[in-house]
Structure 1
Amino acid sequence: MPSIRKWLFSGLLVLVPLIVTLWVLEWVISTLDQTLRILPTSWQPDQLLGMHIPGLGVVFALVVVLSIGALASNIIGNKLVHWWHALLHRIPVVRSVYSGVKQVSDTLFSEKGNAFRKALLVEWPHEGMWTIAFLTGSPAGDVLRHLQEKPGSMGEFDEFHSVYVPTTPNPTGGYFVMVRKSACVELQMSVDEALTYIVSMGVIVPGGPKNAQIKALAEAAARSNP
């Protein structure tokens, strides 16, 4: 029985990640294959070839994205993009949604963006409890003014971080919070390593010995912020 149990768990450790990976890939490919439906029926590969070839939608989506990117990079395309943005900003309901989504996408995908560039250790959801968060920026304007007026603040010299606290094991959901810069500990791990640590619920520790490093950083931060 001990041997059978060992073999069972060993088999699950090999098969479960493989099955989940294949399922995700199949979902992505099948979803992108739906983009071929925007083509005229006579131009769709299923009609031209007489058979369905999985993955053509991925190639088509990649070609479309690259083509739009190449078009937007030249002078004429850039003017068309600005005209398109101006048009959408004149539509009342669309303007609010589009502006918010565009700001987030510019932050996430821009080469100059700083979103999710650093992994931080912060106290959440209350003092004495620590979790990993990602730096997304810094508050400004009226929000920063109110934060600097809060008790315990050093006024205009107090710095704050805007951070995203992901949930586990699904990091796509989480909380947006603003914390003092002095209360954040910058971790010596990449964003990918931090995401792996979160998704695995702490089972997969980046580098192994960094578990002790995180504990030491938390203790040091607690001593410096009594």
Structure 2
Amino acid sequence: MRKYFITGLLILVPLAITAWVLHAVISTMDQSLLLLPAQWRPENLFGFKIPGLGAVLTVLIIFVTGLLTKNFVGKYIVSLGEKALHHIPIVSSIYSSVKQVSDTLFSSSGNAFSKALLIQYPREGSWTIAFLTGKPGGAVAKHLDGEYLSVYVPTTPNPTSGYFLMIPKKDAIELDMSVDTALKYVVSMGVVAPEMAAEAKKADAAKQSNTNNVNN
């Protein structure tokens, strides 16, 4: 009974957490319906709420915003807005920092998380996975002797928080694995090893091939 109970947990817990996260995201995005005039909201038009409609509206707003700011007039308006924000104390610092991070992470030409590395952290002899984000520059680089790398060390199992480090290039070992594979390794706390993931992928491919052969 214990074995069956644990098996049930292994199946239901990931599904439940996935459903909970999706529900939280959609519920949050549904708040965008408050931007609509009261008479245009679903509960007033149809007499009931439509779950997920706010998520569709949010995606549409993001898409339209990107479309409008791609032309000359849109870029000019965004530039004026950014200049105004830069003149507001506190807001300027927050906006500038967030924009620099978002430009690095979401820009198609950015170099965020370009490689997976193996480094010694938090002490010598203790190893962890880090991600290459670039090289130190400006005044910081002037105080560093030799070639250094800027790396991000994620926490486990939540990789959205972590530590920014500048380490000598000679102390970093480049791993022969993709950034996605390394992230899965970090999130799983080492349970899903890269070799295990590769073997599972090969097994799935072989199983699918056998199924196709049987069908044929």
Q: TM-score, normalised by structure 2?
A: 0.87
Equivalent positions of 1:142-153 (< 5 A) are 142-148=139-145
Matched, 1:125 2:125: no
1:117-156 deviation digits (Å, cap 9, x = unpaired): 22111110011110011111211121111122xxxxxxxx
1:20-64 deviation digits (Å, cap 9, x = unpaired): 111111111111111111222112122212111111111000000
Matched, 1:27 2:15: no
| Uncovered stretches (5+) of structure 2, i.e. residues with no partner | 199-216
Number of the residue aligned with 2:76: 79
Number of aligned residues? 198
Number of the residue aligned with 1:61: 58
What is the letter of the counterpart of residue 170 of structure 2? S
Shift of 1:209: 8.0
Q: Distance in 1 between matches of 2:197 and 2:17?
A: 28
Q: Distance in 2 between matches of 1:209 and 1:39?
A: 46
Q: Which of 183, 190, 199 is matched with 2:171 structurally? A: 183
Number of the residue aligned with 2:46: 49
What is the letter of the counterpart of residue 187 of structure 2? V
Matched, 1:206 2:165: no
Q: Distance in 1 between matches of 2:43 and 2:134?
A: 46
Q: Distance in 2 between matches of 1:34 and 1:206?
A: 40
Mark the CA change 1:83 to 1:209 in structure 2 (over 3 Å): closer, same or farther: closer
Q: TM-score, normalised by structure 1?
A: 0.84
Q: Percent identity, aligned pairs only? A: 56
Number of the residue aligned with 2:133: 136
| Uncovered stretches (5+) of structure 1, i.e. residues with no partner | 149-157, 211-226
What is the letter of the counterpart of residue 34 of structure 1? Q
What is the letter of the counterpart of residue 14 of structure 1? I
Q: Distance in 2 between matches of 1:136 and 1:59?
A: 33
Number of the residue aligned with 1:152: none
Q: Distance in 2 between matches of 1:190 and 1:57?
A: 35
Q: Distance in 2 between matches of 1:129 and 1:123?
A: 5
Number of the residue aligned with 1:219: none
Shift of 1:207: 3.2
1:166-186 deviation digits (Å, cap 9, x = unpaired): 111111221111101111112
SS in 2 for 1:57: helix
Q: Which of 37, 41, 44 is matched with 1:40 structurally? A: 37
